[in-house]
Amino acid sequence: MAIDLDHDAVRAYLDQVLDVFKAGEITKEQARSELQTILAKAAIDNARDLHSSLSDFKQRWNVA
């Protein structure tokens, strides 16, 4: 079963990850790890955790 993603939330999440990486607030490895985690959650249909991860990225990484 496919997860119904909120495309605006995904876009905002990707923008956040790329922006904090570009600003030097997280490393390339941290950005990669974050993206891999999201892809894994989507691959195993873990919708609740996926949506939570999309919305709380900055809080989890403690970035502005």
Query: 20-39: per-residue pLDDT in tens?
Result: 999 999 999 999 999 998 88
Q: What is the mean pLDDT of the chain?
A: 85
Confidence at residue 4, expressed as pLDDT on a 0 to 100 scale = 72
Specify the higher pLDDT residue, 63 or 38: 38
Q: From CA 55, how far away is CA 5, in angstroms rounded? A: 12
Contacts of 13 (CB under 8 A, 6+ apart): 38, 53, 54, 55, 57
> pTM for the whole thing?
0.76
